[in-house]
Chain A
Amino acid sequence: MTLVWLLIVLIAGGILSGLFARWHLGLSRWIALAAVTFDLILTLILAARDFGTAHPVGNQWLEEVNWSWIPQSGIHFHLGIDGLSLLLVLLTLFLGIVAVVISWTEITTAVGIYHFNLMLILAGILGVLLALDLFLFYFSWELMLVPMYFLISIWGRERRAYAAIKFFLFTQLSGLLMLIAILALYFAHHRATGVYTFEYQELLGAQLSPHAAMWIMLGFFAAFAVKLPMFPFHTWLPDVCAEASTATNLVLASLMAATAAYAMIRFLLPLFPDAIRTAGPAVTVLAVIGILYSAILAFSQTNLMRLIAYASIGHLGFVLLGIFSGNSLALRGAVVTVIAHGISIGALFLVAGALEGRTHTREIGAMGGLWDTVPRLSGVGLFFALAALGLPGMGDFIGEFLILIGTYQVHFVTAAVAACGVLAATFYALRFVQYVFQGSNSHLWHLPDLSPREGLLLGAMMVLLLWLGLYPQPVFQTLAQAANHVPTLWR
Chain B
Amino acid sequence: MSTVHVISLLPLLVIAATSVVVLLATAIRRNHAVSFGLTLLGLALSFCSAFFTPPNQVTQLLTMDRYAFFFMTLITAASFAVTLMAFGYFEAREGRKEEFYVLLLVATLGAMVLAASSQFASLFLGLEILSVALYALIAYLGDRPPSLEAGIKYLVLAGSSSAFLAFGIALVYADLGALDFVRIGQLLGIRKGLDLSLLLPGTVLILTGIGFKLALVPFHMWTPDVYEGAPAPVTAFVATVSKGGMFALLLRYFSQSASYRFSPILLVLSIIAIASMLTGNLLALFANNVKRILAYSSIAHMGYLLVALIVSNRLGANAVAFYLVAYFVMTLGAFAVVTMLSGRERDADRLEDYRGLFWRRPWLAFVFTAMLLSLAGIPLTAGFLAKFYIVAAGAESQAWLLILILVITSTLGLFYYLRVVTALYEHPSGNTQVFEPLPRRAPAVSLVLAVLAVLLVWFGTYPAPLLKVIQSAIGSIT
Task: Enumerate chain A interface residues (CB-CB to B < 8 A).
Answer: 69-73, 109-110, 113, 139, 142-143, 145-146, 149-150, 153-154, 161, 164-165, 168-169, 172-173, 176-177, 179-180, 183-184, 186-187
Contact = CB atoms under 8 A, between A and B. Distances in A.
Interface in B348-381: 358, 362, 373, 378-380
A150 B365 CA distance: 13
Contacts of B468: 72
Given A179-B391, A187-B396, A161 B380 contact: no
Contacts of B464: 69-72
Contacts of A173: 407-408, 411
A186 B394 CA distance: 12
Interface string B455-478: 000000011100110010000000
Nearest to A143: B379
Contact of B414 (A110, A168, A179, A183): A168
Contacts of A110: 358
Given A69-B464, A146-B373, A165-B415, A180 B379 contact: no
A180 B407 contact: yes
Contact of B388 (A172, A179, A187): A179
B395 A150 contact: no
A-B pairs, 10 with minimum CB distance: A183-B395, A176-B407, A142-B379, A173-B411, A72-B467, A143-B379, A154-B425, A139-B379, A70-B464, A183-B392
10 contacts: A70-B464, A146-B378, A149-B418, A161-B422, A165-B422, A168-B418, A173-B407, A179-B388, A180-B403, A183-B396
A169 B415 contact: yes
A6 B289 CA distance: 43
Contacts of B403: 180
A70 B468 CA distance: 10
B411 A169 contact: yes
Contacts of A109: 427
B268 interface: no
The secondary-structure label for the interface of chain A is: helix
A84 B164 CA distance: 64
B21 to A, nearest CB: 41
A164 B422 contact: yes
A142 B415 contact: no
Contacts of B463: 70
Most buried by A among B379, B418, B463, B468: B379
B422 A153 contact: yes
B108 interface: no
Contacts of B33: none
A110 B392 CA distance: 38
B404 interface: yes
B384 interface: yes
A187 B395 contact: yes
B391 A172 contact: no
A187 B397 CA distance: 9
B395 A176 contact: no
A285 B13 CA distance: 71
B378 A142 contact: yes
B411 to A, nearest CB: 4
A10 to B, nearest CB: 14
Contacts of B392: 73, 183, 186
A173 B414 CA distance: 10
A153 B426 CA distance: 9
B410 interface: yes
A142 B410 CA distance: 14
Contacts of B471: 72
Contacts of A70: 463-464, 467
B395 A186 contact: yes
A145 B388 CA distance: 17
Contacts of B358: 110
Contacts of A183: 391-392, 395-396
A150 B391 CA distance: 27
A12 B251 CA distance: 41
A121 to B, nearest CB: 13
Nearest to B407: A176
B444 to A, nearest CB: 25
Contact of A180 (B373, B404, B414): B404
A179 B390 CA distance: 12
B392 to A, nearest CB: 5
A72 B463 CA distance: 10
Most buried by B among A164, A165, A179, A186: A179
B391 A153 contact: no
B418 A165 contact: yes
Given A72-B468, A168-B414, 9 more contacts: A69-B462, A72-B467, A109-B427, A139-B379, A142-B378, A154-B425, A180-B403, A183-B395, A186-B395
B395 A184 contact: yes
A172 B418 CA distance: 12
Contacts of B425: 150, 153-154
B387 to A, nearest CB: 9
A173 B404 CA distance: 11
A425 to B, nearest CB: 35
